[in-house]
Amino acid sequence: AQSVAQPEDQVNVAEGNPLTVKCTYSVSGNPYLFWYVQYPNRGLQFLLKYITGDNLVKGSYGFEAEFNKSQTSFHLKKPSALVSDSALYFCAVRERVDSNYQLIWGAGTKLIIKP
Amino acid sequence: GAGVSQSPSNKVTEKGKDVELRCDPISGHTALYWYRQSLGQGLEFLIYFQGNSAPDKSGLPSDRFSAERTGGSVSTLTIQRTQQEDSAVYLCASSLAAGANYGYTFGSGTRLTVV
């Protein structure tokens, strides 16, 4: 079975500094990987995905993620953090279930950007 | 509609009462998912509908929980004899029949409070 791990419950970053939110995965075959963000009192919003192609994927709100096959990682990054980036971030990997696919979710990482 | 719509957005109910939560997925999305999220926590899978197939109910926490999807569109999650531990945000998501290649689109959730 596929799995995804977010090793940090919380990440604290000062505004203007670069941020990284970590995600590692375990899959058989080529992974389909996703990042979602959840702002307070909202549903999850899609940020970016990796299916194939360039290892560096660019997404919404200036975020990007780097796919690293040898390290089985898909860390989310942003060069300069904003206070408004404070939210809950989820990594997910696609898993085949019978003849369909579902997303398997990490536990989430709370990102706090301090002014 | 343009997005996934959930109603009500907030529901306060007395312990022991039944509640119904509604999800209206994106038109054309044949897959529909229900998740439960405790405050600031990760996603707990509840149930998954795919087209006309039998739903995957493996995540339902007890027989007080049930869900149906009428006409392959709108879904209703019913919780009978609510308990205080049922208090959470219930999130609905939908995706295309191709599965999770394109990720899920989430609604804003229903915040259920059992008093």
pLDDT digit string (tens) for B41-68? 889 999 999 888 889 898 999 999 999 9
- Residue to mutate among A6, A49, A97, A103, with most B CBs inside 10 A, is A103
A77/A29: higher pLDDT: A77
Q: Smallest CA–CA separation between B68 and chain A, in Å? A: 19
pLDDT of B2 strictly over 80: no
Q: Which CATH class is domain B5-98?
A: mainly beta
Inter-residue contact B55 to B7 (CB < 8 Å): no
Question: How does residue A62 score in pLDDT terms, banded at 50, 70 and 90?
Answer: very high
Q: Where are the domains of chain B?
A: 5-98
Nearest beta carbon to residue A110 from set B40, B50, B101: B40
Question: How does residue B98 score in pLDDT terms, banded at 50, 70 and 90?
Answer: low
Q: Where are the domains of chain A?
A: 3-114
Whether the ω angle into residue A40 lies within 30 degrees of 0, i.e. cis, is: no
Contact residues, chain A to chain B, C-beta under 8 Å: 32, 34, 36, 41-46, 49, 51, 88, 90, 92, 94, 97, 100-103, 105-108, 110
Residue numbers in B near A92 (CB within 8 A): 103
| CA-only gyration radius of chain B, Å | 13
Homologous superfamily (CATH) for A3-114: Immunoglobulins (2.60.40.10)
At B109, list the tokens: 């959730």
Would you state the pLDDT for residue B90? Answer: 97
E strands of B1-115, at which residues? 5-7, 10-13, 19-24, 31-37, 44-50, 65-69, 75-79, 88-95, 105-106, 110-114
